Amino acid sequence: MRTYGRIWLKNGKWHVATEPHVQLRLKRVFARIGRHGVGTITLSDSPETCRDLQWFCDRYPHDFDNDSAAALRDGARRHRDMLLRLEHIIDPKYVARPFSMVLPPRSYQSKEAEVYLNQGFLLIADDVGLGKTCAAICSFTDPGTLPA
């Protein structure tokens, strides 16, 4: 099988050395690279980057060493698992865990807290008075978030 270059993981960054015409495509997929970069492209190592890089390599195969190939598969799997967890939480049939509060939170507030507890971060930008503070307090009832 023809390959277009080499990809390796070093010091928490993906390094991509590829042919010029493939590098142009890579810059379209990873817009944060910038159009004027040349030579070896460097990308941060995150599950999302792994998933996109794996998808890119389906179309433009590259050579990997065994450790880098395993790290790419693992990162892409973590990204897929994270999306499946989020899809499960936002499903209308999903019932969030009970949060120990004097007044029970509304279902959407519980789901917001669940998303935060699963992801470790969340930005809620809705109208005033819809319960952003309540969602935050719900998440703080989980012992894993303490001290808050």
- DSSP, collapsed to helix, strand or coil, labels residue 63 as strand
CA proximity to 129, closest of 106, 103, 113: 106
* Residue-level length of the chain: 148
The DSSP 8-state label assigned to residue 143 in this structure reads: G
Beta carbons within 8 Å of 53's beta carbon, 6+ residues apart: 7, 14, 16, 43, 72, 76
Residue 94 makes CB contacts below 8 A (sequence gap 6+) with 88, 111
Joined tokens for residue 127: 């109208």
Place of tokens 């959407």: 108
Rounded to two decimals, the pTM is 0.79
Residue 13's DSSP bridge partners are 10, 44
Please write the tens of the pLDDT for every residue from 32-70.
Answer: 886 666 789 999 999 999 999 999 999 999 999 989 999
Reading across the β-sheet that carries 41-44, which strands appear in turn? 5-10, 13-18, 41-44
Instruction: Give the pLDDT score at 144.
Output: 87
Q: What is the pLDDT of residues 82-131, one digit of tens each?
A: 999 999 998 999 998 888 889 999 999 999 999 999 988 899 998 898 99
